[in-house]
Structure 1
Amino acid sequence: MSTANLSSGPESTPGQGDLLPETDEDIGFTRLDRAIVWLGKKLSLVFALIVLVSFYEIVRRYVFGSPTLWVHETVTFAGATLFVLGGLYALATDRHVRIVLIYDAVSPAIQRWLRVVHHLFGLAFCSMLLYASWFMARGAVWAPWGGWRLETSGSAWNPPFPAFLKVIILVAIAVMTLQFVLHLIRDLRGPATAGEKGNV
């Protein structure tokens, strides 16, 4: 990694062979991406909280013989939520799975059109997921006979975490769909100049 790459900041181009680029990949390509990156870095602290709460449960269970009712389901819900939101962060920072053997071997112009194809497939996939998750979330918060009802876990504690998680999935997929639209617009416009980056 050259000194120029380290000092270029958000103006440099991501994905040019650096293993740990300090470029737009750490910032996001659009205003929405930057908001997701900012929120993701804040929410990453929840992982530390999950570890602490899990350690608390271990001590309660194996040292004092008094396990809690709430730790397992709370940790599962928090971890699942972060896992769902992690998809938004990966797309915002351009760190999703990619066949780099092909992508890195072609010219920047072809890379741009490969991204366009990727965005189109991603948009189609997210649209179908959005359609399905709408019915899933609606069933979790609305009773078949009418009226507001939150789906619960059915355990002794019985929190409404399933309903919360299904709504979070719906919102996350809606945001990801918008991300794909903005990324598609960006790549169809062609390579952005330094002044245009982040204005989508």
Structure 2
Amino acid sequence: MNWARFKVIFREKYVPRALQNAKCVEFEHLKQTGKTIADYEAAFTNLAEYAPHLVATDEMRARRFEDGLRYEIKRVIRPLVLPTYADVLDCAIIVEQDEMEKRKYFDSKKRQNFNNEGSSGQKRQKPESNWRNQRGQIPKCPTLGHIKRNCPKLGTGAIVPRGNQGGRNAKPEGNRQGNQGNRSGNGITKDKDKCLPLCQAMRGMMKSW
């Protein structure tokens, strides 16, 4: 008696018929879906024991296993028409490994592109920030804390109104002082003219005495 025959006799004697039928139905609808090839192969081998009529030959077993694979793997294997179950299993493992490596490669490329876009976006934002600082703020002297154009180190520190710079109303400082001197001189001359007749009258009275 071989091992396969022993398992059949053991199930017939100790496993209820209802459970065997349920396992057979489960095998008929078995699909890989989200399982790895290793997990799918383990479930396939376990449930195939309850449906020996569906895997009577090695080629039947290969086609049944192939039908349950995910589409991404099955579309690569099916055109090859591999004759044995071992060939289908080996090819499925190779395709799965290639698929995983391809996914890792594209994921790394996406992360690299995302990081490059983020760093370039930060570089583009820096000139805009500097432009706002230049246009929105008045430059200040770094040492004394006042406006740079009024810094005493650059000149007298006096703020000159823009309306008087180079306009028709601008008057030189020397002319202002000269005008003030002329006005004071004219006042003294007028006072002398008023006192002259009085002085002459007083001199005449003194001579008559």
More helix by share: 2
Q: Give the TM-score range, shorter chain.
A: under 0.3
Q: Which fold has the larger relative contact order, with Cα–Cα distance below 8 Å and residues 6 or more apart in sequence?
A: 1
| TM-score (norm: length of structure 2) | 0.19
Bigger Rg, structure 1 or 2 = 2
